[in-house]
């Protein structure tokens, strides 16, 4: 069985970039042609939205699969539409795996005991897509019920060659309300980071990094650099680049000297590039896929120029 971080790093080296494309479909922003096609085939709103999401994400995958190592579907956008949406999510993950992409399902699950293990077994397929219903390589996990809630996810991840990314320092403006609270001179996020690094150290593969990683937001670059040092064995998932305001310079501290150790996410900025300049000026609305491709190339170039990821080129 191949270790999650080994597989991820191999994909990053193959594509020569740590760029991660989030799949965040928003019905009101979808191309008109996709919405019209879904409306022609279905009658209920849930079925229309799910069909539109599926086609949009399939076409996104077709564009970005040759360019990036991984995608991150956001489960909430699909779950909002009930069974039809959940089926669409399952199909999107399957399509991405078939395209050779590493799939990080962003569902932020977290619970105790047997419930946590059920979540883990549902989502974490790891190396073999047939090992779990949702078939993801990796899952985002919320640790704030306690360190014992992580153990079932760790167990299944190790068994299946999967990975988890634990929320440590998130990118949202209100993150500090809880995460910056101090006890005995340490912030809560530092305490979580210590647990994550221990778990990562105990789950390393052939390389330096473990199967247990951390979500650390790009919108707090000083903390990001600090956390890279505090968690030397944890691969980092870094949201906040692009539409949330962070630039490539803000994420430079996430990487090791070889340009590995982190994967940088952009969702809206890639998915809906056609809605903003300069892509809205270069492309017609129906050329949204060309805008996606151009925005992905621009992100790859930006990371290569301003971060150690340039060493992958």
Catalytic residues: 108
Other beta carbons within 10 angstroms of residue 53's beta carbon come to 29
The burial class, CB within 10 Å (0-12 / 13-18 / 19+), for 222 is exposed
Residue in 279, 271, 230, 228 with CA at minimum distance from that of residue 250: 228
Q: Where are the alpha helices (DSSP H) in 75-128?
A: 75-79, 82-98, 113-123
Q: Where are the alpha helices (DSSP H) in the chain?
A: 4-15, 32-41, 45-64, 75-79, 82-98, 113-123, 151-160, 176-179, 188-201, 221-230, 248-251, 268-271, 279-282, 288-306
């Amino acid at each position: 069985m191949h270790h999650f971080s080994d597989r991820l790093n191999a994909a990053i080296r193959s594509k020569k970039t740590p760029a991660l494309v989030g799949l965040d479909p928003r019905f009101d922003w979808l191309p008109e042609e996709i919405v019209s096609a879904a409306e022609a085939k279905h009658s209920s709103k849930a079925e229309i939205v799910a069909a539109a999401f599926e086609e949009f994400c399939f076409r996104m995958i077709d564009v970005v699969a040759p360019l990036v190592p991984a995608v991150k579907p956001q489960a909430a956008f699909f779950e909002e539409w009930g069974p039809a949406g959940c089926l669409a999510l399952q199909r999107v993950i399957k399509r991405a795996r078939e395209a050779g992409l590493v799939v990080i399902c962003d569902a932020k699950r977290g619970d105790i005991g047997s419930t946590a293990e059920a979540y883990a077994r549902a989502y974490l397929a790891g190396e073999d897509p047939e090992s779990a219903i949702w078939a993801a390589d990796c899952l985002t996990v919320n640790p704030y019920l306690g360190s014992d809630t992580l153990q079932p996810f760790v167990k299944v991840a190790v068994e299946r060659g999967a990975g988890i990314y634990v929320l440590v320092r998130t990118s949202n403006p209100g993150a500090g309300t809880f995460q910056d609270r101090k006890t005995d001179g340490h912030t809560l996020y530092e305490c979580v980071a210590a647990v994550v690094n221990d778990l990562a150290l105990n789950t390393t593969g052939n390389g330096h990094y473990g199967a247990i990683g951390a979500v650390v937001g790009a919108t707090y670059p000083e903390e990001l650099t600090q956390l890279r040092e505090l968690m030397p064995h944890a691969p980092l998932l870094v949201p906040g680049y692009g539409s949330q305001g962070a630039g490539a310079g803000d994420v430079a501290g996430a990487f090791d000297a070889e340009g590995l150790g982190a994967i940088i996410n952009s969702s809206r900025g890639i998915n809906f590039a056609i809605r903003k300049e300069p892509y809205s000026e270069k492309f017609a609305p129906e050329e949204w896929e060309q805008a996606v491709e151009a925005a992905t190339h621009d992100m790859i170039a930006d990371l290569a120029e301003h971060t150690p990821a340039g060493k992958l080129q």
